[in-house]
Amino acid sequence: MPLRKAVEGDIEAIALLAAQKRKQYERYQPVFHKEGEKALELHTSFLKDSLSKENTLVWVSESGGHLNGFIIGAIVNAPPVYAPGGKICFVDDFMVENPGSWGTVGRGLLEKVMEEAKGRGAVLANVVCGPLDQPKRDLLAGTHFQVASEWHVRNID
């Protein structure tokens, strides 16, 4: 499973994989994760901007020239009320094409971004994961991540 840093030519494939994840999460929680009208366009613009930022780590996995996973980590300061001992690596966008490949493709991507984050001074990784995204949750639990918080949402009637 070849892993490499993303390049601008990967943006369309990353955006399409992310769109799959948004549809999955919208099924899980249709209010909070309701996909916006211009989600693909807006996310594509965000990805282009992300690739140009020094504090953003974007890695992809590909097989046979086909992109089958990606991870985006941002090296940021922890919120001022917390003191983990340094910067954190915040991973919001993290997707593999095949749910059965979280343990291989997903794990490789996660290890790669954490290795790079550590080299840049990060002491903690924070990975976003939906509560019903069990294959991703299994990967995180199997790599010693712990649930730190959950968001509970409802409509205000």
Amino acid at 51: L
Q: What is the CATH number of the domain that holds 9?
A: 3.40.630.30
**pLDDT digit string, tens, across residues 85-96:** 999 999 999 999
Task: Tell me whether residue 66 is in a domain.
Answer: yes
Residue 117 and residue 75 in contact, taking contact as beta carbons nearer than 8 Å = yes
Question: At 56, which helix (H) or strand (E)?
Answer: strand 56-63
CA atoms of 59 and 125, how far apart (whole Å)? 15
Task: Tell me whether residue 132 is in a domain.
Answer: yes
Whole-prediction pTM? 0.93
**pLDDT digit string, tens, across residues 3-32:** 999 999 999 999 999 999 999 999 988 888
**Torsion-angle region of 80 (φ positive above 0: left; ψ -120 to 50: alpha; else: beta):** alpha
Residue ranges making up the domain that contains 69: 3-142
Structure tokens at 52: 């140009």
Q: How many domains does the chain have?
A: 1
Task: Tell me whether residue 156 is in a domain.
Answer: no
**pLDDT digit string, tens, across residues 104-116:** 999 999 999 999 9
